[in-house]
Structure 1
Amino acid sequence: MKVLVLGLPRTGTQSLSDALTKLGTGPIYHMREVAERNHQALWISAVSAKFEGAGAPWTTRDDFDRVFAGFDGVADYPAAIFPAELAAAYPEAAIILSVRSEDQWYASMASTLVHLQRARARAGGASAPTGMATLSAMYHRHCWGDDFETTGRGFFHEHNDLVRGLAEGRRFLEWRPEDGWGPLCEFLGVESPPDGTPFPRSDDWVEYKKKVQEEERLGRERGCGGS
């Protein structure tokens, strides 16, 4: 394992994963890999063991290699739910903490992961939950107690401080999306891409956010029409 990207979701982890791969540190295991590799049940088991005492917790390299075999790094949830465990399991790996301002992160989470989880909860038993939906429900419950408005901001700071503490004495970079190539290339000891090469701006949630914005716009219009 070469690098552990331990920042929270919605801190540029997908773009950073793509950038690392372009720079020769990859592939990176990102949330998108979970469904593609049918790893939902494995991660549900890991989260259950960590937070609910159901089964043996994942603590060793062998535990995590069950899902990370063939990857040079990890990023995003569900991996970043286990920052201390990963730092201990892969002591040779550099650590990158991807961060954004608290307000940017909060707004992005509210319009994507949190919004989707609320929509699923409202739908109730309309359809059987998928493995991804079950995994999502678990980390919403265990990370911010299904009350993102009250505890989300505190969790953001607690998580970031935890990762900074884990990084003491090892190679560490705190990276923001606006930093682009420069700090990342310097950290990795590789040449920057040719001038003008755009930094990856990958976001699987683009269409979902557009849908949320349209729903909010229609809601405002209905509200004005009814006044």
Structure 2
Amino acid sequence: MANDNPKSGDGLLVIHAALCRMGTMSLAEAYRTLGYKVHHGVDNPTKDPWVRIEEAAEATWPFVPGAKPRKPFTRADWDDLWGSHYDIITDLASPFALQLIEAYPQAKVVIVQRDFDSWWPSFQAELIHPTFSLFSEAVLFVAWYIMGVRAGQAMRKVHFGFFEATNRKEIDDNARDAYDRHYEKLREMVPSEKRLEFKLTDGWNPLCEFLEKDVPKVPFPHLNSRQEHMEGHLERVKKMFMDAAVKVGPWGLAIGVIAAAMRYAQG
């Protein structure tokens, strides 16, 4: 959980400004190799502070469906969520990069950007579709009502907020504008001397120079292909269903899944 093994220091040291499916797992491993304490969401998703992430989404984008009224997150809120526990957050924090830059003005910023036309089909297939599909209703039901995990609810609000949408179609319609606007604002907010424009093919040298670290004597990591990401997602869902079946019994789990499917069909 977020409060396990808290670190001391000045909050986030580096803000990794890259959206999911832009090499976040590779960079997470690279940062760890350089000695940073790193959070990468897929490492242990059932242990992530999903309730706080959902609150962050509601505070940042109050228009998202189902949002409760909240004050904007302060530095203390971001510290409670991530900054007091890690040096760098990769994937889960990426939609909040603009807010984190404001909260941690001393942090260096690493910007990674893929071409939209190559990035969006991967992001859409591996993050948007699994979050809003019919099957996801069963996953959300099991995750929250049986396992006590609000990952699906949190990520729906994050996606709605980042893409300034209130339904799935609007996410697709707004994707390119939201993407362009996000990266434009990043570069407006961060002076050139405090940011690194990085590509995974650049390897260690520019990253280490920017972060003032020695170059490791190991190859730069290249992890998590599209196939690996999908296989990992399916394995995590499978494990959650197996854990839930142990907790409530297979018949209880089956009834819950059917109820979730009926709720989805009824709108």
Q: CA deviation digits over 1:41-98, x for unaligned, max 9? A: 11111111221262222122x1111122231122222x22222321122111101111
Out of 19, 36, 54, which is 2:30 matched to? Answer: 19
The runs of 5 or more residues in structure 1 that have no matched partner are 213-227
Select 2:104's aligned residue among 80, 83, 90: 90
Is 1:136 aligned to 2:146, yes or no? no
Q: Does 1:65 align with 2:79?
A: yes
Q: What is the match of residue 5 of structure 1?
A: 16
Cα separation, 2, equivalents of 1:127 and 1:47 = 18
* Aligned pair partner of 1:74 in 89, 112, 119: 89
Which secondary structure state, in structure 2, belongs to the residue aligned with residue 81 of structure 1? helix
Cα distance, 1:178 vs. partner? 2.0
- In the TM superposition, structure 1's runs of 4+ consecutive aligned residues that sit over 6 Å from their partners are none
Tell me the CA shift for residue 39 of structure 1: 0.3
1:43 is matched with which residue: 53, 70, 77? Answer: 53
Say which of 198, 205, 220 aligns to 1:199. Answer: 220
Residues 8, 76 of structure 1: 8 Å contact kept: yes
Change (3 A) 1:122 1:169: same
For residue 192 of structure 1, what is the amino acid of its counterpart?
V
1:178 aligns with 2:201: yes
Structure 2 residues not aligned, in runs of 5+: 1-11, 63-67, 145-149, 234-267
**Once the 2 structures are TM-superposed, how far is the Cα of residue 33 of structure 1 from its aligned partner?**
6.1
AA aligned to 2:160 is R
Partner residue, 2:3: none
Output the CA distance in 1 between the equivalents of 2:190 and 2:196: 9
Per the TM alignment, residue 122 of structure 1 is displaced from its structure 2 partner at its CA by 5.6
- TM (norm. structure 2) is 0.68
What's the CA shift for 1:186?
1.7
CA contact (8 A) 2:59 2:69 kept: yes
- Matched residue of 1:96: which SS? strand
Amino acid at match of 1:67: L
What is the Cα-based RMSD across aligned positions, in Å?
A: 2.6
Aligned length: 206
